[in-house]
Each structure stands twice: as C-alpha cells, then as structure tokens.
A = this chain, B = another copy of it.
Amino acid sequence: MDSLRIVLVDTEGSINLGMILRLSANFGAKEIFLVSSRTYNEEEILKYAVRASYLYSSIVRVSSLDEALSECDVRICTTAKAREEDVLRNNVPSTKLPELVSKYRKVCLVFGRESTGLTREELSKCDFSSTIPTSEEYPALNLANSVAIYLYELLSRSRSEKLGIEAAGRSQIEGAVSAFSGISSHVLKDPHKRERAERAFRQIAFRAAPSEREIKIVAHVLRRALRRIESCQSK
C-alpha cells in the first residue's frame, strides 16, 4: 500500500470529524475525502482535532461517492456488522485487511453515517466490505473509534512488528544464568534440582527478552551474591 484515503460519507458529528483529523495526524493518513453537503460546527471540529487542526483545510469535500472513489485501486466499505448478505458480498475482517491491501497501491476506506451506516447503493460501489470483530451484543462502534482501529490496523500495526527494545545478546543473558547457576550449586544439594533451577531461570530470562541494561543489573547482583556466599564458605 502506497497510500490510504479515508472516505467519509455524510458524517453527522463535528466531534467525530475533529477526532478523525487528529487520528489522521496520529497515524500519518494523508487524504480525507468528505462526501457531504452538511454544515458543520467548525469550532467543535478544531477543538477535537487539537494539534491536528491544521489538517482541517486539507479535507477534500466532494458531492458524490463516485468522485471520492476516483483513483482508488481498491475500495473497501466498512460496516458495523457483517450480516449474512455482507458475508456473501465478501466481508473481510479488519484483522485480515493489512495482508490484503498490501498488494494495492491506493487503498480507499469508506465509512458511513453514524446513525445508519452506508446504503445498499453505496455498499455496491465497493470491492468488498470490512467489519471489526466485536461482541455480538453491541457491534456498532462510534465512528471515530472505528476509524482509530482501522488506521491502527492498516498504518501502524503491520509496520510496527519491529518495535520494542532490542534484547540483550545471548552471552549477556548466559552470564546471568551462570551466576544464578553458581548460586544454586551452593544452596541446593541435589544435582537434579540444580539442573531444574538453572533451566527455570534460563527460561524466564530468555522468554523475558531482557534489555542489555536489565540483564546487566540482575547479573551484577547475582555475581556479587555468589562471591559473598563463596567467601563466606571459605572462612
């Protein structure tokens, strides 16, 4: 995916519009098309856009969904609930969307009215529909929250797999394991128990994927404890 266009159809709430501007800045979405002839409360939009209020002027207002969908390589209509007919119409859950859209250049994601969603005619202009999996009980998400989840899924989640702190190198973690193991050999008599203890510590340490800093500190304490026990024994 080279670019994502958010297409808002007849959005009713100014607060939602403001929040969507903010979300665009949060996740780096560049295009918002608004198919609407409504008048909005500009003050409210800017208030809820907070530091993304500069994006207000970049909203492209058009008078038809066809216009908003021009240049789209793939058109996805979001729906609050995958009804049986939608399933037949090829509904892709939000979780599966990144894989699918990754193959397209320009992706257009269409969001309907807060009250009634998209009409059948509007839905028919999309290549497929997509739904966020929710509880059965109350599947209708607030519009801005729905946009938040789609932007997260499409623009952030799939790109962030590399995020997080890098783990310490193997030898550093082994250093802590070996100090722990040294301590075990002093406080446990049974060699089987020692072995099990080393394994438990090793599993915890490696599974935690500790940062260099974290494991260094822990290894330092364990090494000192080991030396203390040794020097005590030799007295």
Which residue numbers of A lie inside 8 Å of B, CB to CB? 15, 19, 22-23, 25-28, 48, 50-52, 87-88, 90-96, 132-135, 137-142, 144-146, 148-149, 152, 156-157, 159-161, 163-165, 180, 183-184, 186-188, 196-197, 200-201, 203-205, 207-211, 213-215, 217-218, 220-222, 224-225, 228-229, 232, 235
Contacts and interface: CB of A to CB of B under 8 A. Distances in A.
A133 B161 CA distance: 10
Decide if the interface of chain A is mainly helix, strand, loop or mixed.
helix
B224 A163 contact: no
A152 B164 contact: no
Contacts of A222: 183
A52 B216 CA distance: 49
Contacts of A207: 207-210
Most chain B Cβ neighbours within 10 Å, of A48, A141, A152, A224? A152
Contact of A214 (B140, B159, B204): B204
A53 B90 CA distance: 33
Given A137-B28, A139-B26, A208 B205 contact: yes
A205 B215 CA distance: 11
Contacts of A211: 87-88, 90
Contacts of A197: 217-218, 220-221
Contacts of A142: 19, 22-23, 48, 50, 144, 148
